[in-house]
Amino acid sequence: MKHKPIILFSFFVFLVLSTVLYVFQPSADSCLDIDSTGYDRIGQYFAQTGCLDDPHNSGQATVQTVGYHFFVGLFYRLFGHRFWPIIWFQVLLTLCSCLLVFKIARLFFDARVAALSILFCSFNLGFLVYPQFLLAEALTLFLILFSLYRYILFWQSQKYSHLVQAGIVGGLSLLIKPSAALFLGFAALYLLFFYRPQRLRTFFLFSLCFMMPVFGYLTYNKVRYGYFNLAPMKSLNMYHVFLSKVIARVDNVSVQQAEEKIPRFNASNSLDERGWDGARKLFWQYAVQHPFSCFFVWAQNVSKTLFGLFSTQLKLLLSQDVTGGDVSFFKCSGCLWLRVCQYVAGGAQHWSVLWVAIFEAVWTVLRYFLVLLAFIFLLLCKKYRLAFFCFGFIVALSVVTGFDGCCRYRNLFEPILVILSSFSLVSLYTLLQGKGRLKFCEKIFEGDAL
């Protein structure tokens, strides 16, 4: 392989940096974030009893889908209550994700873009930091990327086995985190509108495959708990997390005060949607009477996902004095520039972490400029379908985070941002060599998938 040295170098850099992060964690439980305590508790309970219930709420379905709890529990059964086997398995999973980014970029573009993409992955702070936490991001990222790779490979090979694999693995990712639900729907519609031969067959086959794991999980909940429902998380996010922010904005009160105005869940089973009737009624009152406030809060949360810095999670990992939610742009005061400075510098207890945060902030701005430029290049080269697909991937995985945005959610569509920024840089270099537009388009789109 022509670019094998750059792949091996990227792997080496990624493993070295991951080792550095692991070694410099101040304590064994530095890997625990706010959501981690639930994963840890239910994982321990599963390892001891074989039951995926929350011991704090016995007999009730867990708030989230139990895919990652099951994953954690398996490791606890094999290695005992130790975090390091999970952390290093997640590091290896993310290494595989980096290789998948290379393969996906190679299907779209030429080898130069693919090589630059995997090099960027080796330094990507999100890819480096999140495997160090007891969080579902690394496993979800791998499943989504594997599904995406097989999906794109289907377009090139037209082998239905690739489409079946893409659908099933994509459906399995929903049992870890349902983040890709909107994207899978978009991918199915993309087949319906753009796949010429037997479009209905491919649409229904892909839809059936990614719904199979979900239907199996729904059936499990029906048999076990009596309700054909995925998890309480969706309603909790909408009728508590998101609604409290809307009420806080409309009524000019704190989020804590707004939460007190929301009727509490009132049902004996956590999967019974009737328990949300009071909160749901209040939600629709605000949605109808204050639609612009709802839109503003949703857009503000999506902006957290798009522009939040992974270095905030790095500060949490390397400091015992920083907890989840401490470093937030929207908690800062003053003018825009002062708030940015406070956000970048906040929680950085060592000069090296501060410089990483500053570099990431600058790169975030530059990277979005490169992504915008990439879409312009795609349109100039008349790669309309590819541009639409990449845009749809980003939108589908970002807009669903509007209930409560966080930079952590961007990790799932970060690979496409990496690929597009790499494509933009290679395109600029190619054009500076004096290539005409037609020669440039022919040269850089060697993969030509989609």
- Residues 273-295 have pLDDT tens digits of 999 999 999 999 999 999 999 99
- How far CA 198 is from CA of 158, 205, 223, 238, in Å, comes to 11, 11, 37, 38
Which of 182-196, 234-248, 413-427, 428-442 bottoms out in mean pLDDT, i.e. has the lowest? Answer: 428-442
- Residue 176 inside a domain? The answer is yes
Evaluate whether residue 300 is within a structural domain. yes
Terminal alpha carbon distance of the chain? 24
> Does residue 265 share a domain with residue 236?
yes
Query: Are the C-beta atoms of 437 and 427 separated by less than 8 Å?
Result: no
- Mark whether 149 and 217 lie in a shared domain: yes
Let me know if residue 210 belongs to a domain. yes
Residues 183 and 156 placed together within one structural domain of the fold = yes
User: Does residue 70 fall inside a structural domain?
Assistant: no
**Domain end position, chosen among 289, 306, 323:** 306
Residues 158 and 238 in one domain: no
Res. 342 pLDDT band, cuts 50 70 90 = confident
Segment among 13-22, 141-150, 403-412 with least mean pLDDT? 403-412
Q: Which structural domain range is residue 284 located in?
A: 232-270+272-306
Q: Are residues 256 and 242 in the same domain?
A: yes
Are residue 210 and residue 243 in the same domain, yes or no? no
Q: How far apart are CA 169 and CA 146, in angstroms?
A: 7
Asked if residue 345 belongs to a domain, the reply is: no
Domain termination residue (choose one: 306, 326, 350): 306
Taking the C-alpha atoms of residue 38 and residue 62, their distance in angstroms, rounded to an integer, is 9
| C-alpha count within 13 angstroms, C-beta hemisphere, residue 432 | 6
Q: Tell me: do 263 and 214 sit in the same domain.
A: no
In a domain, 449, yes or no: no
From 259, 283, 306, the end of a domain falls on 306
Could you tell me the two tokens for 379? 């349109």
- Are the C-beta atoms of 99 and 43 separated by less than 8 Å? no
Asked if residue 302 is part of any domain, the answer here is yes
Residues with Cβ within 8 Å of residue 301, at least 6 apart in sequence: 242, 245, 401, 402, 403, 404, 405
Is the per-residue pLDDT at 141 higher than 70?
yes
Measured at the CA of 199, the angle between CA 193 and CA 202, to 5 degrees, comes to 115
- Percent pLDDT > 90 in the chain is 66
Mark whether 189 and 249 lie in a shared domain: no
Give me the amino acid identity at 48.
Q
Shared-domain flag, residues 195 and 182:
yes
**Does the pLDDT value for residue 343 go beyond 90?**
no
Which ranges constitute the DSSP H helices of 109-198?
111-123, 125-129, 137-157, 160-176, 181-194
Whether the predicted pLDDT of 3 surpasses 80: no
What is the model's pTM? 0.93
**Residue 434: is its pLDDT beyond 80?**
no
Tell me: do 198 and 282 sit in the same domain.
Answer: no
pLDDT (mean) for 231-246: 92
Q: Is the pLDDT of residue 437 over 60?
A: no
Residue 178 tokens, joined? 């349902």
Residue 325 lies in a domain: no
Number of domains comprising the chain:
2
Residues 186 and 199 in one domain: yes
218 & 302 share domain: no
